[in-house]
Chain A
Amino acid sequence: MIEFKNVSKIYDTGTEAVHNATFTIDKGEFAFLVGTSGSGKSTLIKLILKEEEASKGNIIINGKDITFLKAKRVPFLRRSMGVVFQDFRLLPDKTVYENVAFAMYIVKATPKHIRRQVPMVLSLVGLSDKAKCYPHELSGGEQQRVALARALVNNPSMIIADEPTGNLDPETAWDIMNLLNEINARGTTVVMATHAKDIVNKMKKRVIQIDRGIIIRDDKKGGYNSEV
């Protein structure tokens, strides 16, 4: 599903954000990318999204080597994954419904399909009654659930989440985690970058830890810190 082969990323400034990273995340897996700020986990996410180009090595997603993917094809790569960010990134002048429907317009879904699919994902994230609200009328947790609905609406094979709970209080954070867990249980791969210790510890999922650009740990069912 996601395969990194000796991937390094050196920014133009000369900093090496990722050094020789090799790992594979299989279909249906739930994997945490953990590390302190500046450890390189955001760069890993950016590499998966093809927002940044790898300086060395190969990245294979869904069986395709995206290392030399043309800029023109990048949108199609991104459509195969649902993306969730710390700051929600909703379109401010569109309602909840429109924000979710937008992801479907992009893939040229039929209006009929949109009308059926959007209410379905909105009910999945528990926001059916907020469909006509604008993002600024919602709480942080609700906004993140809209973002999640948007990420899910096209039935992607994987969800990439970059600190999705970073701006939320613990309780709402768990709402989001439960949703992600539920989505994962339905067979969607979930990759989540985070530094929320308690979440990682309680979820007991695979943990890939990165420190100063180097992957220092990859536990199948680990906690935030190595328990050795």
Chain B
Amino acid sequence: MRYNGLSYAIGEGFRNIFKNTKSTVISVITMICTMFLFGIFFAIGVNINSVLEQVQMKQGMEVFIFDEVTDEQKQNFENQIKSLDGVNTVVYKNKQQALDSMKEQMKDSQELLTAYEGENNIFPASFVVTLTNLEKSKEIESEIQRIGAQIATEGRSEEVDLQIEEATTNDTIIKKITSRDSTIEALVQLVKAVRITIGVIFIVLIVISITIISNTIKLTVHARRKEISIMKYVGATNGFIRWPFIIEGIIIGIIAAVITLLIIGLLYDFIIQNIETSEVLQKMGITLLAFIEIAKPITIVYAILGIGIGVIGSSVSMKKYLEV
């Protein structure tokens, strides 16, 4: 059995950590600080994203239909809309409900609407469609138009010729589609802008983290430059010298990641609960993410960050000292 270089490197990496307690502690604290900062922005970022998504989900269009549309057609229509890609929910609102919501809006002069009760109800029934992806709003609207026309013509293909003159309104079951285009457009732009901003902040934070941590590693490497040159004289390859440092970096990264994760985990739910009970969010029916929900991505990010910075930081900062 050949001697396993990796187990030597791992053993050395651990040894160095306990041998140089001071620099280990400094590195871990530095890393916790950057990771904590990172974690806060990450938490804010994913929550903003989730809130925007929830707001998006509540946006959509209202599809008004003619009174003559049969229940069967309505059912067919609803099913077809539901199966469209990008549609979140479809809720049917009958004529009475339409009248009720109108009353709601005209609180002060409800008596004006009493004439429209029952038989005289002029308000059309509608489907309220919300979307998962607002960017598809236009596409979905034209799809719904197409379905409406299709359903209207389907059942009475033989009669079409006879009724051709009065068929103008019966070409489709849809009376009107209303969507708040300008609001949707603004929201789409906002989501894009927020995502880009979050992305930029993340990149900046990663660069800062790598700079700070590779500087910390540079200090420890500098403190051990004599050791490194001795290894070189004895005939150690660069890889052989580098690996224990890289593993040391990884271990420090993991320790820092675990501690930061604990701190963030403890603080997070506490803070989120306080924000969630605020009136604005409650009114909008928006919920924030629980820690469990962001724990997985944040752990992955920390693992990559910890290990990545360990590897990159140590390799970059060692370069200078390996040229003996």
B230 and A105 within 8 A (CB): no
Stretch binding the partner chain, chosen from B41-49, B158-166, B191-199, B231-239: B231-239
B169 to chain A, nearest CB (A): 83
4 closest residue pairs by CB, A with B: A78-B235, A79-B235, A75-B237, A106-B236
Known: A51-B324, A110-B1, A150-B234. A105 touches B227 (CB 8 A): no
CB proximity to A under 8 Å, residues B248-276: none
A110-B3 contact in complex given A92-B227, A105-B8, C-beta closer than 8 Å: yes
Residue interface bits A35-77, CB-to-B below 8 A is 1, else 0 = 0000000000000010100000000000000000000100111
Decide yes or no whether B14 CB sits under 8 A from chain A. no
Given A51-B324, A91-B227, A93-B19, A106–B234 Cβ distance below 8 Å?
A: yes
Known: A89-B230, A91-B230, A106-B240. A76 touches B235 (CB 8 A): yes
B235 contacts A105, C-beta separation under 8 Å: no
User: B2 contacts the other chain (Cβ, under 8 Å)?
Assistant: yes
Assign chain A's interface to a size class: 20 to 34
B238 neighbours in A (Cβ, 8 Å)? 75
- B155 contacts partner chain A, Cβ-Cβ < 8 Å: no
| Mask of A78-104 contacts with B, CB within 8 angstroms, 1/0 | 110001010001111100000000110
Q: What residue in chain B is nearest A82 (Cβ atoms)?
A: B234
Check if A83 sits within 8 Å of B233, measured CB to CB: yes
Residues of B contacting A: mostly: helix
Which residues of chain A are near B237, meaning CB under 8 Å? 72, 75, 106
Chain A positions within 8 Å of B232 at CB level: 75, 78
The answer to whether A111 has its CB under 8 Å from any CB of chain B is yes
Residues of B within 8 A of A75 (CB): 232, 235-238, 240
Find chain A residues with CB under 8 A from B233 CB: 49, 78, 83, 85, 89
Given A102-B234, A114-B3, 13 more pairs with CB closer than 8 A:
A75-B238, A75-B240, A76-B235, A78-B232, A78-B233, A89-B226, A92-B227, A93-B19, A102-B231, A107-B235, A108-B2, A108-B5, A110-B3
A158 to chain B, nearest CB (A): 13
CB distance from B201 to the nearest CB of A (A): 41
Q: List 24 A-B contacts (CB under 8 A).
A: A75-B232, A75-B236, A75-B238, A76-B235, A77-B235, A78-B232, A78-B233, A79-B235, A83-B234, A85-B233, A89-B229, A89-B230, A91-B227, A93-B19, A93-B227, A102-B234, A103-B234, A103-B235, A105-B5, A106-B235, A106-B240, A108-B2, A110-B1, A111-B3
A2 within 8 A of B: no
A203 at the interface (CB under 8 A from B): no
Complex: chain B residue closest to A76, CB-CB: B235
Say whether, besides A51-B324, A76-B235, A108 and B3 are in contact (CB < 8 Å).
yes
Closest to A113 in B: B3
Q: Are A90's CB and B3's CB within 8 A?
A: no
> What are the residues of chain B within 8 A of A108 when measuring CB–CB?
2-3, 5
A107–B1 alpha-carbon span in the complex (Å): 14
Determine the chain A residues whose CB is within 8 A of the CB of B19 once the complex forms: 93
A93 to B19, CA, bound (A): 8
Minimum CB–CB distance for B162 against chain A, Å: 91
Task: Give the most central of B2, B226, B233: most A CB within 10 Å.
Answer: B233
Contact with B along A146-186 (1 / 0, CB 8 A): 00001000000000000000000000000000000000000
Q: Give the distance in Å from the alpha carbon of A108 to the alpha carbon of B240 in the complex.
A: 10
B98 CB to nearest chain A CB (Å): 80
CA distance A93 to B226 in the complex (A): 12
Please name the residue on chain A nearest to B20 by beta carbon. A93
**Is there a chain B Cβ closer than 8 Å to A1's Cβ?**
no
The residues in B between 1 and 30 inclusive whose CB is less than 8 angstroms from any CB of A are 1-3, 5, 8, 19
- CB-CB nearest in chain A for B237: A75
When C-beta atoms are compared, the residue in chain A nearest to B323 turns out to be A71
Task: Answer yes or no: A196 CB below 8 A from chain B CBs.
Answer: no
- Please give, as numbers and ranges, the residues of chain B lying within 8 Å of A106 by CB-CB distance: 231, 234-237, 240
